Amino acid sequence: MPRIIRRRQLLKSAGVALSVAAFSCASSLAYAANAPIKLALVESLSGPFANTGEAVYRNLMWAVERVNLRGGIRTAHGARLLQLDRYDSKGQNEEALSTMRAAIDDGAQIILQGNSSATAAVLIDAIAKHNERDPARRVLFMNYSAVEPSLTNEKCSFWHFRFDAHADMRMAALMTVLKNDASLKRAYLIGQDYSFGQAVLREAKRQLGAQRPDIKVVGEELHPIGRVKDFLPYMAKIKTSGAQAVITGNWGNDLTLLVKAAKDVGYEGKFYTFYGNALGAPAAIGEAGIGKVIAVADWLPNLPGKESQAFYQAFRQRFPKPTDDYVHMRMQLMVELLAQALDKAGAESKSESAIDMVAAAAYLESGKATLFGQTAAMRAADHQLQQSLVVGVMDRQGSAGVPFDVEGSGFGFRVIKTLTSSQAELPTTCKMSRPS
């Protein structure tokens, strides 16, 4: 049992609103009489992408702690804490479906997943069918990272909410920087061979053709996801092609090994990435990445402003190990928006054990939240979160605009472009079916 700390004492100390100790004081004592609201993380917690699942878990745990510190969710029957449970999908869609069903049987009302668009697609379909078949046990799907565009377009669902900018939005943000690189004449496209990676390459070619038709695509390649142990042959081919830049949506170990191979073969071109700012990539490429690795994100630690820096410092206080340095504003905003919706639906709840997920979804789709200076709003038409996006370039810690490094690597990302939520917004083709 964690040491009990007085709530008043916690609120006095710097950054405690976001600390784990805050959770321990408010938890089992004050609200033991009320059953928690169960959130189920369905994610790869073993296998080649285990580090990505664990990184997400830390983010979600931190957000849940913050909600519980302030009293949890207020319902008509009293306050209820959030409980975050882990379910290992092992990186397999069938396993994700199995663990989702187990989570629902365990009483989960919220499913969280996002590190694979392919998995997200099967969960969207399965949850829609479950909710129609068993309305007494309806669940919501909170997607923090699965960014294949169709998930909030032709595959959109009333039960699914996406909190990351989708691939087309991210590519459009990258293009605001790439299109102004007059020296760039040859590009190579490489990605993971599944729905997301395919979408990235498709949109890269489309936007290059529209904005920089003078750039020649000298190669494009899709590789097996999570199965390539050595990217040296790929990078050797890229170097031989004469490409001055690589455009990739690779994430996790597939990105880390790719940029490491680039260093090993002496590739001197640029990398335009979706996720080059985390999970070992900066350390893998080292000095060779300064001024050459560009990443797009919803937020970066070196985003100017006291509130943003306080947010990052609070996270590092909670998770001080360099290997745990992986924080995303969108995941924090996701839990804030969810808590708002559950508060409102819970206030109307007739049940002591379950909150009406139709009501929660209705409140969530019109939700808006601000956290540490960052504001985001859910778009009701397709359940795609609208938020600002930033583009950063890798540089040495201590350089202008780079007070913080990544994972103790000595390298961080300087913000070179900021897009408001309205600038980042793209239209949707969603035709959402809503419960009667």
pLDDT digits (tens, 9 = 90+) for 321-364: 999 999 999 999 999 999 999 999 999 988 777 899 999 999 99
- Gap between the Cα atoms of 254 and 226, Å rounded: 6
Strand, coil or helix: what is 379? Answer: strand
pLDDT digits (tens, 9 = 90+) for 158-192: 999 999 999 999 999 999 999 999 999 999 999 99
C-beta separation of 377 from 402 below 8 A: no
Which residues, in sequence order, are CB contacts of 108 under 8 Å at separation 6+? 38, 39, 40, 85, 139
CATH 3.40.50.2300 fits 168-297+388-424, yes or no: yes
- Gap between the Cα atoms of 44 and 316, Å rounded: 23
Domain residue spans of the chain:
7-165+306-387, 168-297+388-424
Radius of gyration of the chain (CA): 21
pTM of the model: 0.89
Which residues, in sequence order, are CB contacts of 428 under 8 Å at separation 6+? 152, 153, 156, 379, 381, 382, 384
Domain 7-165+306-387 is classified in which CATH homologous superfamily? Response regulator (3.40.50.2300)
Assess whether the region 7-165+306-387 and the region 168-297+388-424 belong to the same CATH fold.
yes
pLDDT digits (tens, 9 = 90+) for 56-85: 999 999 999 999 999 999 999 999 999 999
Nearest to 411 by CA among 398, 396, 401, 399: 396
- Gap between the Cα atoms of 280 and 192, Å rounded: 18
What local confidence, expressed as pLDDT, does residue 18 receive? 41
Which residues, in sequence order, are CB contacts of 393 under 8 Å at separation 6+? 291, 292, 293, 294, 413, 414, 416
What local confidence, expressed as pLDDT, does residue 121 receive? 97
Q: What is the mean pLDDT of residues 380-385?
A: 98
Report which secondary-structure segment, H or E, holds 363. Answer: helix 357-364
Residue with tokens 């909190």: 163
